[in-house]
């Protein structure tokens, strides 16, 4: 794959998501939804990122159930025993599914095409993200595995001490959050001191936007999809 900066994929996903929320016509939204979803699905499956496809299927199933329960009126379309599925339930499912397809498709493309570390560097350099925010994102990448470890340790100790590991009531949540936060704050305190002692306050904004032809093509693809979708909206 030619080199495209992660910030460009970020902008692409942002445009697609904005499109999904703003375009009211389902027909117009089909255009970005179908190719983005197919491309995203192929890339995700190649990288073995199954979370998004599974989440998508669950969301569509939940949407369908919701539609059948609350907006099941109009002409009967499918009759399965006592269950009659009517046109409006299917139409409502389709409308929201198309939006979710657009967003999920863009998200799948985004996570498949970038690595988080490069994204942060790219956001700082290509988009001029403030240094504090870029540092916070880097730190989050660093801390997530540590906090996952902490979480598992805490749950095991709870089990050992005869407490629930499923967080049912607020005291369960507090019992897990307290040590998690205590350990996290201590870590963040020292990492912050270490960062300052290594000149973080002197760090200059590293805004140096340089885009390749491939970046421009990706942005152009996003703009083209937006224009065509808007054109369909106006024609209808």
Partner 1 sequence: MLVDTKITRAQHRGSRFVLRDVFLSLGEGESVLVVGSSGCGKTTLLLAMTGVLNNLLEGEVEGYSRIGGVNLLEPEGFREVARLVGVVLQDPDKQIAMPTPYDEVSFVLENLGFNDIEERTNRILGMFGLAGKEFVSIEKLSGGEKRRLTIASAIVHDPPIILFDEPTASIDPWGVREVRKYFREHVSGLGRASIVVEHKAKYFLDLVDEVVLLEDGVIRARRRISEVDEAFLEYLEEHGVDVRSPILIREPRRDVGRTILETRGLTIGYNGQPIISGIDFEVREREVVVVIGANGSGKTTFLKTIAGSLKPVAGEIVFREKNPRIFYVPQNPDYMFIHTRVKRELDDLYKRSGRIFIEKIFSEAPWLKGLLDMSPHRLSHGQRRWLALTIARGYNPSIVLLDEPTTGLDLKLYRHVIEWIRKIVKEKRSVVIASHDPRVIADLADRVYLVENNRMREVSLEYGLKWLEEGFK
CB nearer partner 1, residue 205 or residue 224:
205
| Stretch near partner 1 under the rule CB under 8 A, chosen from 50-58, 86-94, 201-209, 221-229 | 201-209
Q: How far apart are CA 120 and CA 161, in angstroms?
A: 41
CB nearer partner 1, residue 22 or residue 165:
165
Please state the φ and ψ torsions of residue 198, each to the nearest 5 degrees: -110, 25
What's the residue count for the chain? 236
Per the CB < 8 A criterion, the answer to whether 38 and 46 are in contact is: no
Out of 24, 46, 161, 210, point to the residue binding partner 1 (CB under 8 A): 161
Out of 78, 174, 220, 228, point to the residue binding partner 1 (CB under 8 A): 174
Nearest of 136, 173, 176 to residue 156 by alpha carbon:
176
- Residue 223 binding partner 1, by CB under 8 A: no
- Residue 179 binding partner 1, by CB under 8 A: yes
Out of 75, 202, 235, 236, point to the residue binding partner 1 (CB under 8 A): 202
Q: How far apart are CA 57 and CA 68, in angstroms?
A: 17
- Residue 224 binding partner 1, by CB under 8 A: no
- Residue 47 binding partner 1, by CB under 8 A: no
Binding mask 99-128 for partner 1 (x = CB under 8 A): -----------------xx-----------
Residues 129-148 close enough to bind partner 1 by CB under 8 A: 135, 138-139, 141-142, 145-146
CB nearer partner 1, residue 24 or residue 160:
160
- Residue 183 binding partner 1, by CB under 8 A: yes
Out of 77, 200, 209, 212, point to the residue binding partner 1 (CB under 8 A): 200
Out of 51, 78, 165, 206, point to the residue binding partner 1 (CB under 8 A): 206
Number of residues in contact with partner 1 under rule CB under 8 A:
42
- Residue 69 binding partner 1, by CB under 8 A: no
| Three-state SS letters, the chain | CCCCCHHHHHHHHHHHHHHHHHCCCHHHHHHHHHHHHHHHHHHHHHCCCCHHHHHHHHHHHHHHHHHHHHCCCCCEEEEECCEEEEHHHHHHHHHHHHHHHHHHHHHHHHHHHCCHHHHHHHHHHHHCCCHHHHHHHHHHHHHHHHHHHHHHHHHHHHHHCCCCCCCCCHHHHHHHHHHHHHHHHHHHHHHHHHHHHCCHHHCCCCCCCCCCHHHHHHHHHHHHHHHHHHHHHHHC
**Could you list the residues that contact partner 1 (CB under 8 A)?**
116-117, 135, 138-139, 141-142, 145-146, 150, 153-154, 156-158, 160-161, 163, 174-175, 178-179, 182-183, 186-187, 189-191, 193-204, 206
């Amino acid at each position: 794959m030619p080199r495209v900066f992660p910030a460009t994929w970020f902008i692409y996903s942002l445009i697609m998501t904005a499109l999904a929320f703003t375009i009211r016509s389902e027909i117009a939204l089909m255009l970005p939804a179908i190719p983005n979803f197919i491309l995203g699905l192929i890339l995700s499956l190649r990288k073995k990122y199954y979370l998004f496809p599974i989440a998508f299927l669950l969301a569509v199933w939940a949407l369908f159930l919701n539609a059948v329960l609350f907006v099941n009126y109009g002409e009967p379309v499918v009759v399965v025993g006592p269950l009659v599925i009517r046109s409006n339930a299917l139409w409502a499912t389709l409308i929201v599914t198309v939006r979710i397809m657009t967003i999920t498709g863009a998200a799948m493309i985004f996570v498949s095409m970038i690595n988080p570390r490069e994204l942060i560097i790219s956001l700082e350099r290509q988009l001029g993200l403030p240094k504090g925010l870029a540092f916070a994102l880097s730190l989050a990448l660093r801390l997530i595995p540590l906090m996952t470890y902490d979480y598992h340790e805490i749950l095991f100790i709870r089990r050992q001490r005869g407490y629930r590991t499923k967080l049912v009531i607020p005291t369960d949540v507090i019992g897990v959050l307290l040590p998690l936060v205590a350990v996290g704050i201590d870590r963040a305190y020292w990492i912050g001191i270490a960062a300052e002692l290594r000149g973080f306050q002197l760090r200059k904004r590293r805004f140096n936007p340089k885009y390749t032809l491939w970046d421009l093509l990706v942005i152009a693809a996003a703009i083209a999809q937006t224009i065509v979708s808007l054109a369909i909206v106006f024609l209808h």
